[in-house]
Amino acid sequence: MTTVERDTVPARAGSGRVGHRHTPGHVAGRVLLYLTLAVFLIPVMFPVYYVFAGALMGSQDLSAFPPRLLPTGVNLENVQGALDAVPLLRMYGNSLVMAGIITVSQLSTSALAAYAFVFLRFRGSAVVFALFLSTLMVPAEATFIPNYLTITGWGMGDTYAGLVMPFLAYAFGTFLLRQSFKQFPRELFDAARIDGMGHLRFLWTILMPLSKPALTAVGVYVFITSWNMYFWPLIITRSTEMQTLQIGLNSLKVGEYSNPGLLLAGAALSVLPTLALVIFGQRFIVRGLTAGAVK
Amino acid sequence: MLAWGFLGPSVAIFALFLVYPLGRTVYLSLHGNDIIGRPDRFVGLSHFAEMASAEYVQVLITTVLFSVGVVVPGVVGALIIVLLMEGVIRGQRFLRGAFAVPFAFSVASASVIFAVFYSPGNSVLNGILYRLGLDQVPWLTSQEMALWSIVITTVWMNLGYGVLVLAAGIGSIPKEVNEAARIDGATGPRLAWDVTIPMLGPQLFFLIVISTINALQSFGQIHILTGGGPVGSTTTLVYSIFQDAFAYGTSDFGRASAQALVLLLVVLVCTALQFGVIERKVHYS
């Protein structure tokens, strides 16, 4: 720790958003602060940069030593090569179908369960809710062997049904939606009921539209995590036609080990949808991710 | 009853794919199996006893080293980043967004990118080291280095999550607390050390527990980058479960199930720890 930092970074953090001091020491402190942040930011952003830069590089850029860090020209041969080596588009579709089904299903099962916990008073609901939460403690890896035996025993190995079945419900969504449903004014619920509105109709036409922020947070979170799943799709799929994009990336790596351009092109293609979600849906992700952290 | 109709779909999935598997795992762990994985004899606790053998003790050591190696720099790094970001006046949102970008990368895409970075043939990282005049590193080919190369990949993947959690925590510290500390003359590192970090206690604890649980469950990066090698030096508990149960057609479900139960136990202890501490915190507020 230098004296400069001791003097100025503190002052900066301390003075908050008001009271700029333009002393030389202060300026040096700010420079130091930004430099330190850059020291962290550069290694974090470099792989993000390089996956796209490298995907567009020609083989002469990639095979040079040391490998080039800036592409000398834009070139799409890696993208074409990756698509030729492994049926990535088909796998894209598989991932989309898998993540889509899991997301819609978890939103539905979670909304129904959360509705029961908030609006349908029943005996033992506190115990049942605690049991729901306790399912979150079980690491999926501890259940994969029996689930693999169950799914293959039903003849569903290497099918969409087999890919999604164990993940159709998850208590995390129930937990978040319950928090959101609890905000709904009880009098309005009672009024709707007295007017003769059925539970499902109330849930679908009134509660769900009003809970869009929570539903989006859960949906975005579930979509990204299931899109990124690796272990389960690896063991439950056999054929190239059923494999998801993530498993395709591994096949690409095994098959094209010595061709970095193809690997980077495959990784770049695979990351586009989730990257878009993270960039444009960040506030929803923050909500979903940090739900357990901030009381 | 109506409520059970609404709970039914969730309960059915949990029963089939969570509760039943736990029972089945216990059963499998107590049985030996034939070549295609059908349990054919009761073996008692011998699978668990095998875990005291040198091979599995090494697996447990690797798991602990890996988890500590991922959690400590991940949490400390995220903490330093959010404290530094507090000092930034403009562009805080941009920085937070930038640090969160790796979260978009699946374990497979991150691993493939780092495979290129580490590749023995034409390593991008070694290229950078070469430009800086530094020695080359045998990232994935040396038994000493391979685990740490996977640790680096994992820290990169998880850092953004830590930043988001801690940034949300800092945002929830009441303004009056900082004001009061400042009136008492606390600034900068002092303020961070005496006020901000203690106030972040619950989030830090949450982050440590979640990161540990995630680290214990890491799989894809090991499968893609090293396949557990060289010479088993990156075989963690989860990877060992995979190898015994699903790799090389061994289908040793009994032995793998015993390890799965050990994993379950460790994760349960971590979670129980978290619930215990957070319960106590709740009474404060």
> Cβ(A108)–Cβ(A243) under 8 Å?
no
Same domain flag for A154 and A205: yes
Number of compact structural domains in chain A: 2
| Boundary residue ending a domain (A45, A60, A81) | A81
What the block records as the tokens of A253 is: 């790596």
In a domain, A23, yes or no: yes
Residues 254-273 of B with CB under 8 A from A: 256-257, 260-261, 263-264, 267-268, 271
Q: Which residues of A touch B131 (CB under 8 A)?
A: 66
Number of compact structural domains in chain B: 1
Which residue in chain B is spatially nearest to A267 when comparing CA positions?
B109
Q: Does B10 touch chain A (CB under 8 A)?
A: yes
* pLDDT class of B278 with cuts at 50, 70, 90: low
Task: Decide if B10 and A174 are in contact by the 8 Å CB cutoff.
Answer: yes
Query: Closest to B108 (Cβ–Cβ): which among A122, A230, A279?
Result: A230
Q: Does B164 touch chain A (CB under 8 A)?
A: yes
pTM of this prediction? 0.87
- Which residues, 6 or more positions from B98, have their beta carbon under 8 angstroms from its beta carbon? A41, A44, A45
Same domain flag for A146 and A185: yes
In a domain, A93, yes or no: yes
> Cβ(B18)–Cβ(A135) under 8 Å?
yes
Q: Which residues of A touch B84 (CB under 8 A)?
A: 33, 36-37, 40
What the block records as the tokens of B256 is: 């793998």
Position B54 pLDDT exceeds 60: yes
Range of the domain at B251: 50-284
In a domain, A251, yes or no: no
Residues 63-82 of B with CB under 8 A from A: 77, 80-81
Same domain flag for A142 and A228: yes
Task: For residue A243, give the amino acid letter.
Answer: Q
Q: Which residues of A touch B116 (CB under 8 A)?
A: 50, 54, 260, 263-264
Q: Does B148 touch chain A (CB under 8 A)?
A: no
Same domain flag for A112 and A198: yes
In a domain, A56, yes or no: yes
Rounded CA-CA distance B8/A178 in Å is 16
Residues B215-243, mean pLDDT to the nearest whole number: 93
Q: Does B155 touch chain A (CB under 8 A)?
A: no
> Cβ(B267)–Cβ(B216) under 8 Å?
yes
In a domain, B23, yes or no: no
The shortest C-alpha distance from A181 to chain B (Å) reads 15
Query: Closest to B10 (Cβ–Cβ): which among A113, A141, A279?
Result: A113
Q: Which ipTM score applies to this complex?
A: 0.88
Q: Which residues of A touch B97 (CB under 8 A)?
A: 279, 282
The shortest C-alpha distance from B19 to chain A (Å) reads 9
Q: Comparing B270 with A101, which gets the higher pLDDT?
A: A101
Rounded CA-CA distance B30/B44 in Å is 5
Same domain flag for A215 and A97: yes
- What is the model's pLDDT at position A292? 55
Which residue in chain A is spatially nearest to B208 when comparing CA positions?
A293
Q: Does B192 touch chain A (CB under 8 A)?
A: yes
Same domain flag for A60 and A120: no
The shortest C-alpha distance from A252 to chain B (Å) reads 9
Instruction: Please write down the HEC assignment for all residues of A43-66.
Output: HHHHHHHHHHHHHCCCHHHHHCCC
In a domain, B27, yes or no: no
* pLDDT class of B105 with cuts at 50, 70, 90: very high
In a domain, A264, yes or no: no
Q: Which residues of A touch B203 (CB under 8 A)?
A: 293-294
| Boundary residue ending a domain (A81, A113, A130) | A81
In a domain, B169, yes or no: yes
Task: For residue A248, give the amino acid letter.
Answer: G
The shortest C-alpha distance from A59 to chain B (Å) reads 12
Q: Which residues of A touch B123 (CB under 8 A)?
A: 67
Task: Decide if B206 and A113 are in contact by the 8 Å CB cutoff.
Answer: no
**CA A116, chain centre distance (Å):** 27
- DSSP character at residue B136: P
Position B11 pLDDT exceeds 80: yes
Most B CBs within 10 Å, among A145, A232, A236, A251, to test the B interface = A145
Most distant CA atoms of chain B, gap in Å? 73
| Cis upstream peptide for B230 (omega within 30°) | yes
Task: Decide if B104 and A277 are in contact by the 8 Å CB cutoff.
Answer: yes
Same domain flag for A108 and A220: yes
Task: Decide if A125 and B81 are in contact by the 8 Å CB cutoff.
Answer: no
In a domain, B14, yes or no: no
Mean pLDDT of chain B: 88
CATH (domain of A146): 1.10.3720.10
Q: Which residues of A touch B10 (CB under 8 A)?
A: 109-110, 112-113, 132, 169, 171, 174
The shortest C-alpha distance from B114 to chain A (Å) reads 8
Task: Decide if A249 and B122 are in contact by the 8 Å CB cutoff.
Answer: no
Q: What DSSP string describes A177-209?
A: HHHHHTTS-HHHHHHHHHTT--HHHHIIIIIHH
Task: Decide if A43 and B77 are in contact by the 8 Å CB cutoff.
Answer: no
φ, ψ at B230 (rounded to 5°): -70, 140
In a domain, A253, yes or no: no
CA terminus-to-terminus distance, chain A: 34
Same domain flag for A62 and A93: no
CATH (domain of B227): 1.10.3720.10
- Interior angle at CA A129, CA A125 and CA A131, nearest 5: 120
In a domain, A262, yes or no: no
Same domain flag for A51 and A125: no
| Boundary residue ending a domain (A35, A56, A81) | A81
Q: Is A194 exposed, middle or buried (0-12, 13-18, 19+ CB in 10 A)?
A: exposed
In a domain, A258, yes or no: no
Range of the domain at A60: 3-81
Same domain flag for A99 and A241: yes
User: With a cut of 50, which residues of chain A have pLDDT below it?
Assistant: 1-19, 294-295
Q: Which residues of A touch B90 (CB under 8 A)?
A: none
Cα separations in angstroms, A85 against A27, A75, A230, A251, A252: 53, 17, 20, 9, 7
Position B81 pLDDT exceeds 90: yes
pLDDT tens digits, B163-214 = 988 988 888 888 788 778 878 777 777 777 878 888 888 888 889 988 998 9
Query: Closest to A47 (Cβ–Cβ): which among B113, B126, B188?
Result: B113
Q: Does B189 touch chain A (CB under 8 A)?
A: yes
Same domain flag for A76 and A105: no
Task: Decide if A142 and B264 are in contact by the 8 Å CB cutoff.
Answer: yes
Across the A/B interface, how many CB contacts are shorter than 8 Å? 321
- DSSP character at residue A224: H
- Which residues, 6 or more positions from B80, have their beta carbon under 8 angstroms from its beta carbon? A40
Same domain flag for A142 and A212: yes
- Which residues, 6 or more positions from A146, have their beta carbon under 8 angstroms from its beta carbon? B20, B21, B24, B25, B28
Rounded CA-CA distance A286/B233 in Å is 36
Query: Closest to B164 (Cβ–Cβ): which among A113, A169, A290?
Result: A290
